[in-house]
Amino acid sequence: MYFKVTPAHRYVKVEANGREGEVTFPTWLPGSYVIREMERNIVFIDGIRISKNKFWVRENFSYKVYTMSWDQREAISTGNYMFLNGPAVFPFQSFDERYCIELNLPEGWKANTTLRKEGERTLCARDYHELADSSIQASPDLKEYKIDELHKISTVDVLDEEFLNKLRLVVSKEDEVFSAVDPLLSSREYIFYFRFSSNPRGGIEHSNSSAITSSWNSELTSLVEVFAHEYFHRLNVKYLKPKDLKLNYEMETYTELLWFAEGVTDYMAYKLSWKSGGIKLQDFLKRIAESLQKLTFRGGMMSLAESSMTAWIKYYRRDENYLNSAVSYYDGGLILGLILDLSLFRKGLRIEDQFRKIPREYTLYDLQEAFSEAEVDLEVSRLPSREMLKLVRNFIDVDTPDRDRPYLGISLDGDVVSFVEDDSPADQAGVCPRDKVLSVNGRPAEAILKEIEKGKQVHLLLSRDGRLQEIGVVVGKSPGHGIRISGKDVSTKWAGEEFKFEVPSRVI
């Protein structure tokens, strides 16, 4: 198929050439486990609708796409910037034919992509899978930052030299791991598409590129880590991947192993960022402690296998009850990665050297074989994830300093209840998420901590959906959600120094 793309303000106009027949717009994008319904952005198409995402078209047809998503997984087009993720804009007919895109850009615009250039303005992919694994970024203000001879950042924003130097260290360290698995992995060119955004940070991986956004006030550590995470996916997901994670652009694809594909990737991104000097040990310890903290909640009864399987309806649709009902395969996978690494370290081995033993398409059994020297039964990924708290205590001292402290069982965002812990005093008394706390024992909402510590009961005046509610809550004892970690013999040697880190609980 052939597409001629003309960017416009808030839209992209496409003139297409293919075969008369059916075209299909994807309903999801590889690397993002949520049904996105990309056809929802089609505002006009010269064709006949067959179903929600399929149309009957002639050999030549045109369509118009609304492109104002600030999500780096989709598409945006303004008067001076365009970013397209392939499946967000382009339909398919058959997967194994060539797909080419002609960019009809305004004068003075520049473009970056990993698609092959054929002629001055035409970009081609050998099949639809390659097109779906590629992005296009264009702007009159586009600039490049060189990381090394093979890696660069494409962006419209200004990046400081300190960040670039740290990223160079991280990329070099990750390439060492890649080269040990397959030297070709670190010998191909790679583009980081990047822009600052008002939205939280995020990224999506491709074989030879990644698309990343980060908030304007992001700390340097956060920026380094998200780049490191997406780049490690070049190995873990784009080269090595769960055997059952098959591409299907129209429906969910399930695997029990997202904890390894995503969570262990996060562990490796942090570890290699730390080992290369891109971040400090304390940054890594903070991430470990925060992940352990998530396992202390009721959602820790969910296994990492189930967390992986339910990514489509749980993780990507998190709500105020998430900590009661689920655990993140990122958090749990990171902790299981830590357990594997410390188990290997005790025998003089490293987790990064085990990736060469993993087949290109792996099962849980394959991972068990690859990490056999760690002597960790990976069936733990099918048990309640809080079981890993027991395993990690073999290597690291883990305390919950707020255990048995006065407690209601809620988290507040300002004066609004953002979380109610199951079976907590607040839950039993009838407090709901989104309740606005007007007063506590007749005092302003900000006095809640002092009032909890003073007595055995607190009286809350709440606004719930515009109606006043008066609720008395008997003060109970916290089950302990604050986390304090410190080194034992093996982990102290692994860290190269004595360490301690504490993450307080936000549940009061």
- Mean pLDDT (whole number) for 211-228: 94
pLDDT band at 257; cut points 50, 70, 90: very high
Question: What pLDDT is stored for residue 200 in this prediction?
Answer: 80
- Mean pLDDT (whole number) for 258-276: 98
Helix (H, G, I), strand (E, B) or coil at 70: coil
Is residue 282's pLDDT more than 80? yes
Cβ–Cβ under 8 Å, residues 478 and 402: yes
For residues 303, 305, 306, 310, the Cα torsion angle rounded to the nearest 10 degrees is 140
pLDDT band at 39; cut points 50, 70, 90: very high
Distances (CA, A) of 499 to 175, 225, 335: 28, 21, 17
Mean pLDDT of the chain: 96
- Mean pLDDT (whole number) for 477-482: 96
Q: Give tens-digit pLDDT for 388-400.
A: 999 999 999 999 9
- Residue closest to 252 by CA, chosen among 30, 18, 73, 455: 30
Strands across the sheet containing 82-85: 75-77, 82-85, 135-139, 110-113
Distance, in Å, from the CA atom of 203 to the CA atom of 188, rounded to the nearest integer, reads 20
Question: What pLDDT is stored for residue 71 in this prediction?
Answer: 87
Cβ–Cβ under 8 Å, residues 396 and 491: yes
Distance, in Å, from the CA atom of 449 to the CA atom of 183, rounded to the nearest integer, reads 57
CATH tag for 406-477 (out of 2.40.10.10, 3.40.50.12140, 1.10.3720.10, 2.30.42.10): 2.30.42.10
pLDDT band at 487; cut points 50, 70, 90: very high
Is residue 120's pLDDT more than 90? no
Question: What pLDDT is stored for residue 314 in this prediction?
Answer: 93
Question: What pLDDT is stored for residue 72 in this prediction?
Answer: 87
Q: Give tens-digit pLDDT for 423-438.
A: 999 999 999 999 999 9
pLDDT band at 453; cut points 50, 70, 90: confident
Q: State whether CATH 3.40.50.300 applies to domain 147-239.
A: no
pLDDT band at 199; cut points 50, 70, 90: confident
Compute how many other C-beta atoms are within 10 angstroms of the C-beta atom of residue 69: 17
322, burial (CB in 10 Å: exposed 0-12, middle 13-18, buried 19+): middle
Is residue 455's pLDDT more than 80? no
Considering the domain 2-141 in this protein, what is its CATH number?
2.60.40.3650
Give the start-to-end residue ranges of the domains of the chain: 2-141, 147-239, 242-398, 406-477
- Mean pLDDT (whole number) for 496-506: 96
Residues 6+ apart with CB under 8 A from 290: 331, 483, 503
- Mean pLDDT (whole number) for 161-168: 97
Q: Give tens-digit pLDDT for 437-449.
A: 999 999 998 899 8
- Mean pLDDT (whole number) for 135-153: 97
What share of the chain has pLDDT > 70, as a percent?
100
Residue with tokens 């050998």: 126
Can you name the residues that pair with 416 across neighbouring β-strands? 413, 436
Question: What pLDDT is stored for residue 377 in this prediction?
Answer: 96
pLDDT band at 31; cut points 50, 70, 90: confident
Residues 6+ apart with CB under 8 A from 242: 255, 256, 257, 258, 260, 261, 361, 362, 363
CATH tag for 242-398 (out of 3.40.630.30, 1.10.390.10, 3.30.70.940, 3.40.50.1970): 1.10.390.10
